[in-house]
């Protein structure tokens, strides 16, 4: 395989999804009682753990600031104080404010649902502090669009599996485009797929992979040799 070449295919994507789902079960993402709570969560979880984002969401909820109207109307300093547990609270408060103003300026999330995916993505990316990963999480979990979130867990996994090589390892758009072109699935599929890849990255295929416990090793070109979780022989390097 030449640098940048991809071995991603619909069959492989579906195999990966099925294998992870079978092992980890449904992840029930993204938690939140309202579309705006999900939207706020995608910003608060940037560069921190979910439990810290949750603390910030709880503070916003208790203060009555878990609506776009409330965030847009209140002083940004008040939002900063409430979301301190999520870290980077100054930047995140401004991002929350920008996205809230975008929502209120367009008469709410329900009104925005009629827009095309490309248009929504462009508008999200135009906001300070919203990159491709956050934009795609918003598209997937708030607007229920079938997009692949090619975050660091996904890029590492696809690279280790031997399905995506070269500069594409660090290229968000290359992997996202490759996966979306390869498989024609709905938002429900991509919702679960992303959550499962994160679960796998956190528990097994992290910075130091635990290949001997991995249910993907039979298909993985980076697997450590040795007996695997299912009795398949390791594929070696």
> Where do contacts with ligand SF4 occur on this chain (CB under 6 A)?
157, 160-161, 204-205, 209-211, 214, 216-217, 220, 222-223
CB 231 to ligand SF4: min, Å: 14
CB 161 to ligand SF4: min, Å: 6
Task: Quote the tokens at residue 185.
Answer: 């699935």
Q: Which is nearer to ligand SF4, 97 or 160 (CB)?
A: 160
Q: Which is nearer to ligand SF4, 27 or 46 (CB)?
A: 27
CB 169 to ligand SF4: min, Å: 13
CB 211 to ligand SF4: min, Å: 3
Task: Quote the tokens at residue 200.
Answer: 């796998």
Q: How far apart, in whole angstroms, are the C-alpha atoms of residue 26 and residue 20?
A: 9
Query: By C-alpha distance, which of 219, 167, 161, 60 is closest to 233?
Result: 219
Q: Which is nearer to ligand SF4, 51 or 202 (CB)?
A: 202
CB 212 to ligand SF4: min, Å: 8
Q: Which is nearer to ligand SF4, 96 or 161 (CB)?
A: 161
Q: How far apart, in whole angstroms, are the C-alpha atoms of residue 5 and residue 141?
A: 29
Q: How far apart, in whole angstroms, are the C-alpha atoms of residue 9 and residue 68?
A: 40
Q: Please, are residues 164 and 148 in contact by the beta-carbon 8 Å criterion? A: no
Q: Which is nearer to ligand SF4, 75 or 236 (CB)?
A: 236
With 0-12 / 13-18 / 19 or more C-beta atoms within 10 angstroms meaning exposed / middle / buried, residue 32 is: middle
């Amino acid at each position: 395989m030449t640098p940048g070449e991809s071995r991603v295919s619909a069959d492989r994507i579906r195999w990966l999804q099925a294998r992870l789902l079978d092992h980890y079960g449904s992840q029930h993402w993204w938690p939140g009682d309202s579309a705006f709570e999900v939207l706020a969560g995608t910003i608060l979880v940037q560069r921190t753990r979910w439990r810290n984002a949750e603390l910030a969401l709880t503070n916003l909820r208790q203060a009555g600031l878990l609506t776009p109207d409330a965030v847009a109307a209140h002083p940004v300093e008040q939002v900063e104080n409430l979301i301190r547990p999520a870290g980077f609270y100054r930047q995140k408060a401004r991002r929350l404010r920008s996205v809230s103003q975008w929502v209120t300026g367009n008469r709410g999330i329900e009104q925005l649902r009629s827009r095309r995916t490309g248009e929504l993505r462009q508008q999200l990316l135009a906001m300070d502090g919203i990159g491709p990963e956050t934009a795609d999480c918003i598209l997937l979990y708030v607007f229920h669009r079938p997009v692949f979130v090619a975050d660091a867990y996904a890029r590492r996994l696809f690279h280790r599996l031997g399905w995506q090589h070269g500069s594409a390892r660090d290229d968000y758009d290359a992997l996202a485009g490759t996966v979306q072109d390869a498989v024609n699935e709905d938002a429900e599929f991509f919702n679960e797929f992303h959550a499962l890849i994160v679960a796998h990255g956190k528990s097994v295929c992290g910075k130091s992979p635990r290949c001997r416990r991995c249910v993907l090793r039979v298909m993985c070109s980076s697997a450590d040799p040795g007996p695997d979780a299912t009795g398949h022989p390791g594929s070696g390097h």
